[in-house]
């Protein structure tokens, strides 16, 4: 009897523990493909009918949320709570803090904890989105690092873009991000484009469309909503729309053959949302003050009716100068006009309270019908239901260690960066670097000791916008791992003139020179150009005047660089400044990896799309391993 009672008690305890464990699991989001069930549809429709007008207005806004640790009484956190409680905001765009040129990336645990807390404080489940164009590593450390989109164009494999989408979805979902503002469907047909450039997969509409569709497929398998951007195409512009008015000055035939095909492929692939750009397109809407975001002709007529898109239409950030300059005297009207044009979700308004109140007034006055508002709110609620957020809105923070930064995924990110490296020019006298240094260099010393003999046999000049950033750090580390006494010099526009004598002296004495140029599009970059600044450009020109024959130029970003420097004799492109691209560039320079990349864009007066000099591995693996120790 005692044994029977003991066994019964043990069974009850185990059953209770299992039940508690199952209930604990049920409160967490479960990874899996996106799927809107009939129950999910019913929840969305039922919820819509329960919402007040004020709550519906809040659902069509998405505001910023910066991932970092925040005490519950921190003013920044209280502002986020107020946005939910007073303005009923339904979505947040997660980003991080910045400090001048520095992006203050946070940790996955901090981000997941903050997003969980916000979910718990919200009446309705929240949608969290992010701009993860290069994967989660754009904002959070310890995650898989990927190169820019154009590197996938250089790699040329649709299956790699698909895997890119799947891994990004898995890591995003682990921290509570449901929606990525990617892939970029812009066809970068204008080499002078200062804001798209390497964010695009390339200049061929078919290749761009194929890679976009592949990414969407992978992301959906991983359970992440996708956004194709920047409709109707931002690739043929010469202005940064974050800073001013950009215009796409092409005819309708050009739009139909170049800009629009990737968007058509994305829609056919089931993309969840389309982001509309702050660009003017005279061929579609001749009004000079009608950027696409506020143009019914472009949003409602072209995107919805002609292209048949039924998903969520989201504006580009409403705080960008390309739009705000049109509403300087009444900033709240920007949201009203964007919504009237056909957008469903209003992203990051310049003044959220003013924009919310302007939208509320527009609906109350009848300027925007309640039926029109309901249609957009229902789309957003259905998106939440397709993710199962009505059943479980939190993520399991304890699962992060299993899901984020998997070694196999990290290796894949490096593999893509390596495969993208493209050799455009080679005079046969410099590459691979190891074979050019027959006498070798000084051996590596022990840590914290000085290398006795340091020579200028090999000089690496790293040109960046700001030497205080991370640009060049991974490159220099990998370079010195192979040549410990290499002379590495960091240069930016502020110090280039003052350092010219030192740089040119080192170049004159060197047997081999490597010039790595970091130029990538950023929203905050002053000016509308991707060209090198005057001071750094002048210094590179002097280096080439003296030593072009023994200099290898590596474009760590903008591949069009060579068009400005016709004297370049050895030219290599990585299409990205990500750390994996820096490592890939060094491995390629030393012949440690096969060079198989091909240009996804044409470089004026230098090379056509598809060009690329292929090279086999030229250094034994054992030597490579030794160099990296």
Active-site residues: which are they? 242, 316
E-strand ranges in 566-618 read: 570-573
548-551 contacts, C-beta under 8 A, 24 or more apart? 549/427, 549/429, 550/429, 550/430, 550/510, 550/511, 550/512, 550/513, 551/430, 551/507, 551/512, 551/513, 551/514, 551/515
Contacts with 182 (C-beta within 8 Å, 6 or more apart), sequence order: 131, 132, 133, 168, 215, 226, 227, 229
Report the distance separating Cα 559 and Cα 612, nearest Å: 12
What DSSP line would sit under 206-262, residue for residue? HHHHHHHHHHHHHHHHTT-EEEEEEET--TT-SS-TTTS-EE----HHHIIIIISHH
The residue behind tokens 């894949």 is: 412
Are residues 336 and 359 in contact, defined by beta-carbon separation less than 8 angstroms? Answer: yes
| Residue 157: Cβ within 10 Å count | 13
Q: What is the CB neighbour count within 10 angstroms for residue 402?
A: 9
SS3 463: strand
Sequence-distant (6+) residues with CB within 8 A of 419 are 154, 155, 157, 160, 596, 597
Query: Which position has the token pair 């695009």?
Result: 200
How many C-beta atoms surround the C-beta of residue 301 within 10 A? 16
- Angle, CA 243 vertex, CA 240 and CA 248 arms, to 5°: 40
CA dist 100 and 497 (Å) reads: 23
Please give the angle made by the CA atoms of 484, 490 and 494, to the nearest 5 degrees.
170
Give per-residue burial for 204-242: e unless 16+ CB within 10 Å, then b: bbebbbbbbbbbbbbbbbbbbbbbbbbbbbbbbbbbbbb
Cα separation of 359 and 146, whole Å?
A: 39
User: What is the distance of C-alpha 344 from the center of its chain?
Assistant: 23
Among 278, 557, 233, 570, CA closest to 429? 570
Cα 178 → chain centroid: 15
Q: Give, rounded to a whole angstrom, the gap between the first and last alpha carbons of the chain.
A: 67
Q: Which residues contact 546 (CB under 8 A, 6 or more apart)?
A: 504, 507, 508
Q: Answer yes or no: are the C-beta atoms of 149 and 183 closer than 8 Å.
A: yes
Residue 385's alpha-carbon distances to 49, 93, 128, 275, 379, in angstroms, are 15, 18, 13, 21, 10
Nearest residue to 176 via CA among 370, 59, 30:
30
């Amino acid at each position: 009897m005692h044994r029977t009672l003991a066994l019964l008690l043990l069974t009850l305890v185990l059953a209770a523990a299992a039940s508690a464990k199952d209930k604990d699991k049920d409160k967490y989001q479960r990874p899996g493909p996106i799927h809107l069930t009939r129950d999910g549809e019913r929840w969305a429709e039922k919820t819509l009918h329960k919402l007040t007008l004020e709550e519906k207005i809040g659902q069509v806004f998405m505001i910023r949320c910066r991932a970092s640790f925040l005490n519950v009484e921190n003013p920044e956190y209280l502002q986020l709570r107020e946005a939910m409680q007073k303005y009923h905001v339904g979505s947040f765009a997660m980003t991080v803090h910045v400090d001048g040129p520095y992006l203050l990336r946070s940790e996955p645990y901090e981000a997941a904890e903050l997003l969980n807390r916000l979910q718990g404080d919200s009446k309705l489940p929240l949608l969290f989105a992010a701009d993860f164009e290069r994967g989660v590593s754009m904002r959070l450390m310890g995650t898989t690092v990927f190169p820019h989109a154009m590197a996938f164009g250089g790699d040329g494999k649709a299956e790699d873009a698909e895997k890119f989408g799947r891994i990004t979805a898995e890591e995003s979902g682990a921290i509570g991000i449901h929606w990525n503002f990617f892939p970029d469907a812009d066809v970068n047909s204008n080499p002078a484009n200062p804001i798209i450039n390497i964010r695009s997969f390339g200049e061929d509409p078919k290749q761009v469309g194929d890679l976009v569709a592949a990414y969407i497929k992978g992301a959906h398998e991983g359970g992440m909503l996708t956004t194709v951007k920047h409709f109707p195409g931002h690739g043929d512009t010469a202005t940064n729309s974050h800073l001013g008015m950009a215009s796409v000055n092409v005819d309708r035939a050009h739009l139909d053959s170049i800009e629009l095909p990737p968007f058509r492929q994305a829609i056919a692939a089931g993309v969840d949302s389309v982001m509309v750009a702050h660009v003017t397109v005279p061929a579609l809407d001749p009004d000079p003050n009608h950027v696409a975001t506020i143009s019914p002709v472009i949003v409602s007529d072209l995107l919805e009716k002609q292209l048949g898109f039924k998903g969520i239409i989201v504006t580009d950030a409403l705080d960008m100068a390309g739009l705000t300059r049109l509403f300087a005297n009444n900033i709240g009207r920007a949201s009203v006009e964007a919504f009237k044009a056909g957008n469903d979700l209003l992203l990051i308004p310049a003044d959220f309270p003013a924009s919310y109140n302007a939208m509320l007034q527009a609906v109350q006055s009848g300027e925007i019908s309640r039926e029109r508002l309901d249609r957009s709110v229902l789309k957003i609620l259905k998106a939440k239901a397709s993710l199962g957020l009505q059943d479980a809105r939190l993520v399991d923070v304890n699962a992060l260690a299993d899901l984020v930064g998997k070694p196999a995924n990290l290796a894949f990110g490096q593999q893509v960066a390596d495969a993208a490296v493209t050799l455009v020019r080679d005079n046969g006298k410099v590459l691979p670097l190891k074979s050019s240094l027959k006498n070798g260099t000084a051996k590596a010393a022990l840590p914290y000791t000085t290398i006795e003999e340091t020579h200028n046999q090999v000089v690496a000049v790293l040109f960046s916008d700001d030497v205080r950033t991370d640009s060049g750090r991974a490159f220099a580390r990998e370079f010195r791992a192979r040549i410990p006494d290499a002379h590495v010099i960091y240069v930016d526009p502020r110090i280039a003139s003052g350092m010219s004598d030192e740089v040119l002296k080192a170049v004159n004495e060197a047997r081999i020179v490597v010039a790595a140029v970091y130029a990538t599009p950023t929203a905050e970059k002053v000016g509308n150009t991707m060209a090198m600044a005057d001071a750094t450009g002048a210094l590179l020109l002097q280096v080439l005047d003296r030593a072009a024959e023994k200099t290898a130029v590596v474009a760590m970003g903008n591949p069009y660089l060579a068009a400005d420097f016709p004297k370049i004799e050895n030219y290599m492109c990585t299409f990205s400044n990500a750390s994996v691209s820096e490592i890939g560039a060094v491995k390629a320079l030393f012949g440690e990896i096969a060079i198989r990349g091909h240009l996804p864009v044409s470089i004026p007066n230098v090379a056509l799309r598809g060009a690329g000099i292929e090279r086999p591995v030229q250094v034994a693996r054992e030597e490579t391993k030794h160099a990296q120790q």
